[in-house]
Amino acid sequence: MQSQDKGKERLKEIVSKHETIKRTTVILDKEERDFIDRMIQEGKEGGIKPLISKMIDIYRSLMIYDWRFPGEYYCGISRIAFVNVELLNILVQEIPKENWVSIGKKMGAALKVSMETVLDLQNSIEENWEEVFKRLRAQGFGEFFLKDKYLLVKTPFIGYPELWKGILEGLFAIELNIKTTAPPLVFQIETKR
């Protein structure tokens, strides 16, 4: 008797799942379809469905809801720009190294205001850090991990630990001690404000 009930439940589950799936047809220009086919043939994408799913995920992650025109978009109160890392490195190299931490703190404070506005959460509360890490990763800052009293920054878009120390201190209202000088960057959390 129980196996029949389980079978009926499973059938209902399958039927309800298929009701939520909808088929969509998208008509692409020849140039767009050729581009997609080339990406699939080169092994950069597994197929049309995975590509579209990835595009939607990126769109959602970046929160690109306010396009002005290609190349200019806003996320909440902040204008976001895709910038070549080499250009940022040139800019940072022109700043005296003794100012990197203080400039990083100003950058972190600006990120804090932007993210608290967009994500509607307090960055200084450790339970919220994972959402902030996701946002930073989506914007290309790198991958961030919290392990005990250590913050790890893998693949940072800028490899200067002093600048990152300031950014993270300003963003999370903490004080850090630099543990590594080359990526992956490791910071020990000294105090939380």
* pLDDT, tens digit (0-9, with 9 covering 90-100), for 108-128: 999 999 888 877 888 888 999
144 CB-near residues (< 8 Å, 6+ apart): 129, 132, 133, 136, 137, 151, 152, 153, 154
What local confidence, expressed as pLDDT, does residue 68 receive?
A: 63
pLDDT at 96: 96
Q: What is the pTM of this model?
A: 0.72
Compute the distance between CA of residue 127 and CA of residue 166 in angstroms, rounded to an integer: 21
- Residue 104: predicted pLDDT: 96
Q: What percent of the chain has pLDDT over 70?
A: 85
pLDDT tens, position by position, 69-110: 666 777 767 777 778 899 999 999 999 999 999 999 999 999
Q: Is pLDDT at 7 greater than 70 in this prediction?
A: no
* pLDDT computed for residue 162 by the predictor: 97
Tokens of 130: 């994972």
Is the pLDDT confidence value at 166 over 90? Answer: yes
Beta strand residue intervals within 23-141, DSSP E: 66-69, 72-75, 78-80
